[in-house]
Amino acid sequence: MREVCIEVSHVTKRFGEDLVLKEVNLMLEAGRVYGIVGNNGSGKTVLMKCICGFLTVTTGTIRVFGQRIGTDVDFPESLGVIIETPGFLTNLTGRRNLEILADMRRKISRAEIREVLRRVGLDPDMKKPVAKYSLGMRQRLGIAQAIMEDPGLLILDEPFNGLDKDGVAEIRRILLELKGQGKTILLASHNEEDIRVLCDEVYEMDGGVLQKIMEKGNVK
């Protein structure tokens, strides 16, 4: 059996009287790609934020790499994330944004930042500030930020937003390479082809209830 990366046990999440997550259980193994589909407001993003430690659960537990979120650690270690629109200092270049973030943890070099920008299809020498980036360029920069420190876990909410056909193909290729390196990837996408091409297992969130609908290409 593969190493368990994420274990969600009997998780509920309330916002006031609104029950957004209803007894969610989920176990994700290392080296696999998992998809979550569902309508807007179904609870997908809330679940991802709870796994990342951005929101606290109402009941239940979430463990990432064996550590309980909110008890053992506030945020998972070795995590790369895109949830909603990535936030950047818009008056600075993409490269400078990544350098500032990298300086906080000092895990990667300037040369590695340049390489990750090239990997996602951005010119590391581009002088244009992020304010003048297209949506697709910002999304590429967000993906660069998520993968630049070589995390073991990626949580990506609609990672292909704003990308053209070539950009989608490039990012899919990168994600499959990361899977091959043993990374765990949890992604939400409205695009059925993204799910079909990338995911080993697919779950559907409907009204806060999570259920598996596909495994290794076999739809239930």
pLDDT score of 218: 53
pTM: 0.91
| pLDDT of amino acid 87 | 78
Q: What is the mean pLDDT of residues 24-42?
A: 94
The region that residue 126 occupies, defined by phi over 0 for left and psi between -120 and 50 for alpha, beta otherwise, is beta
Written as six digits, the tokens of 161 are 């937003």
**83 found inside a domain:** no
For residue range 131-150, what is the model confidence (pLDDT) as tens digits? 999 989 999 999 999 999 99
Residue 52 has pLDDT above 80, yes or no: yes
6 in the same domain as 45: yes
Interatomic CA distance for residues 60 and 100, integer angstroms: 36
Residues 70 and 156 in one domain: yes
- Quick count: other Cβ atoms within 10 Å of Cβ 204? 18
- Domain ranges, residue 138: 88-150
Domain boundary among 150, 182, 198: 150
- pLDDT exceeds 60 at position 220: no
Segment 169-208, tens digit of pLDDT: 999 999 999 999 999 999 998 888 888 889 999 999 999 9
Q: How confident is the model at residue 125 (pLDDT cuts 50, 70, 90)?
A: very high
Q: Are residues 136 and 220 in the same domain?
A: no
Is residue 5 one of the residues assigned to a domain? yes
Are 69 and 76 contacting, i.e. CB atoms less than 8 angstroms apart?
yes
Q: Is the confidence at residue 85, as pLDDT, over 90?
A: no
The confidence band for 104, taking pLDDT boundaries of 50, 70 and 90, is: confident
Please check whether residue 24 lies inside any domain of the structure: yes
Task: Please say whether the beta carbons of 130 and 97 come within 8 A.
Answer: yes
142/128 same-domain check: yes
Residues 146, 73 within the same domain: no
If one counts the domains in the chain, the total is 2
Residue 79 CB-half CA count within 13 A: 24
Would residue 65 count as lying in a domain?
yes
pLDDT recorded at residue 193: 87
Which of 107, 126, 150 terminates a domain? The answer is 150
Q: Mean pLDDT, to the nearest integer, of 77-97?
A: 90
Q: What is the pLDDT of residue 12?
A: 98
The answer on pLDDT for 50 being more than 60 is yes
Residue 166 lies in a domain: yes
Q: Which pLDDT belongs to residue 1?
A: 64
Are 125 and 94 in the same domain?
yes
Domain-ending residue, one of 118, 150, 182: 150
Contacts with 27 (C-beta within 8 Å, 6 or more apart), sequence order? 4, 6, 7, 8
